[in-house]
Chain A
Amino acid sequence: MAMLEDLRMHKRRRNFRRHSVPYLFVAPFVLAFGIFMVFPILYALIISFSRWQGGNLRWAGLFQYSTIFSDSLFWQGLVNSLIILVIQVPVMLILAVMFAAMLNSSRLKFKSLFQLGFFLPILIDTTAYSLTFSFILAQHGLVNQLLGLVGISPIPWLTSMFWSKVAVMIAMTWHWTGYNVVILLGGLQSIPPELYEAAKVDGAGPIRQWFSMTIPMLRPLLVLEFILSTIGTLQLFTEPYILTAGGPDNSSLTPVLYLYQVGFQQFHFGYASALAYLLAIIIAILSFFQLRFTREGSIL
């Protein structure tokens, strides 16, 4: 009898241990998640409804949010990002698909060397490459020197309201194309070669194969890259901060750069938090629509 009791006890203890295991496994993450994510997210909401004065919060209701609507700087920043988004992301993704396909081609020699070259920009940290581009694109920098060789007069990349956005786009494209190439290469390599054999047997030429097999197979990855790039562009900070400081005349100001100026140069914590929340909502809406459209197949 005693033995049976012992066994039962043992089993119960084991069961308890078995049941507590998943909680113990998630506990460290949940603890950090609660302290450094959930709490700040809620705290930010409170700050955004307040005025921050000398370390004290004063309830201000929707004051901060209502201020945003007449704040042309924020909207200008948003428009700047949207312009960059609409031009840079498609150009980059088209380049990435193109180069990924070429780098995957069986006819390409020195393949691994070329792939390494495309990989290199990923390893250069954003500040370092932005600094490098700040003199590549300077008035007497490399790009203008090269343009001079073919008789084009220097372009004021960093000092004109039009070209400053282009400068940011060039730097971003340089850094991120390789990253997307690598992801797409992974996708291309996971397409079974038998599929191409079969397509060839069925009489599909390379162009037909490309559009009715390769692109559809890459679609999920392209959608992912498209959404990640959109989110990344709306959160753009380092490139404009280093290259142009948002100038000239706020022509390359971005929402996050503006948020940084408001929060940490003017120390308007309440307003900066409201800006952050509005940006979060805008990003959520855009991602939602992108998912919607891409699922219905009207974009990709």
Chain B
Amino acid sequence: MKSSRFHLSDVWLHAIVFIGFVASIYPVYLMFVSGTQNNQQIFGMTPDLLPGHSFLVNYKDLMSNAGFNIYQSVGNSVIISAVSTILAVFLATLAGFAFAKYRFAVSKGLFQVILVAIMIPPQVTLIPLFVMISKIGLANSYWAIILPATVSIFGVFLMRQSFLSFPDELLDAGRIDGLTDFGLFLRIVLPLSKPALSSLAILTFLGSWTNLLWPLVVLNDSSSYTIPVALSTLTNTVTQPNYGMMMLAASIGTIPMLILFLLLRRNFISGIMGGYNR
């Protein structure tokens, strides 16, 4: 039953939510629109809200003067984020399952070590990791970013937490049917843990996609840049930067994430909600 009564407070509700809504989407709109404008338009006397005519100029500028190939950066980011996510989720899920469903000699002690490690911020490992990665000659490679990202302590916690409530009867039933432990994990546990898995995958992917500090440190060759590193180099100009070109680069770098979101919309929202509401 919809009530047709008119409430003044409803107007306020919609007005305030609308302001928050506009504040949230407007900068994104501006980013895309500015990619088609030149500096005069962007900084004009009145805000110019419509697309401009400088798209081709900006595009040419981006292709020839940016110092990197934006499409290569997009490719690097996609590969690095995807592989990091798959590996991190896989390792964390296996370990989380073991911690939740098995009692073994070192499980308590090991879990405590991991608990302590989560307290230590990632900046502590920045320099030693840089030394290690440089020494084994992996700087500027995908592996320089992927390998350290395979360790997701948060992931182990999240998966352990979700497996704790996994019914033991199902596992026993699978054992009686002759499944090995790995078979149980693959054919019973994983298919029934999709919400937690997609939660972890999405949070890991977002984190990897947006990470700037570590890639900035180990990627020095423009052909290996991820999107954040590529975009960050655009601020290093002596003269006033071409903001249109900068925003075009930022827009192109944002599109893959938007596509991914459109494909997996439900999982994204419930993934972020679920990651913390446990």
Chain A residues close to B by CB (< 8 Å): 18-19, 21-26, 28-30, 32-33, 36-41, 43-44, 47, 95, 99, 102-103, 105, 107-109, 114-115, 117-129, 131-136, 138, 140-142, 145-146, 174, 177-179, 182-183, 185-187, 189-190, 221, 224-225, 231, 234-235, 237-238, 241-242, 245, 256, 259-260, 263-264, 269, 272-273, 276-277, 279-280, 283-284, 287
Contacts and interface: CB of A to CB of B under 8 A. Distances in A.
Given A47-B128, A174-B23, 15 more contacts: A22-B98, A28-B90, A40-B124, A40-B132, A44-B124, A109-B14, A119-B269, A123-B257, A127-B212, A134-B235, A136-B27, A224-B276, A237-B213, A238-B212, A241-B232
Nearest to A273: B127
B64 interface: no
Contacts of B45: 145
Contact of A120 (B10, B24, B151, B209): B24
Chain A binding surface, main DSSP class: helix
Given A39-B128, A127-B228, A142-B30, A221 B276 contact: yes
B261 interface: yes
Interface residues of B, number: 93
B24 A259 contact: no
Contacts, number: 269
Given A21-B181, A29-B151, A128-B31, A123 B254 contact: yes
B277 interface: yes
B126 interface: yes
Q: Which of A125, A135, A260 has the most CB of B within 10 A?
A: A125
A25 B102 contact: yes
8 contacts: A30-B95, A117-B22, A118-B24, A122-B272, A132-B28, A145-B46, A245-B235, A280-B119
A65 to B, nearest CB: 14
A189 B30 CA distance: 33
Contacts of B31: 124, 128-129, 132
A145 B28 contact: no
B125 interface: yes
Interface in B104-129: 104, 107, 110, 113-114, 117, 119-129
Contacts of A121: 24, 27-28
B258 interface: yes
A68 B46 CA distance: 48
A125 B227 contact: yes
Interface in B247-278: 247, 250, 253-254, 257-258, 261, 268-270, 272-277
A123 B128 contact: no
B234 interface: yes
Nearest to A22: B102
Contact of B212 (A126, A133, A264): A126
A88 B95 CA distance: 36
Q: Which of A29, A37, A126, A256 has the most CB of B within 10 A?
A: A29
Nearest to B236: A245
A33 B114 contact: yes
A37 B117 contact: yes
Contact of B30 (A26, A134, A136, A277): A136
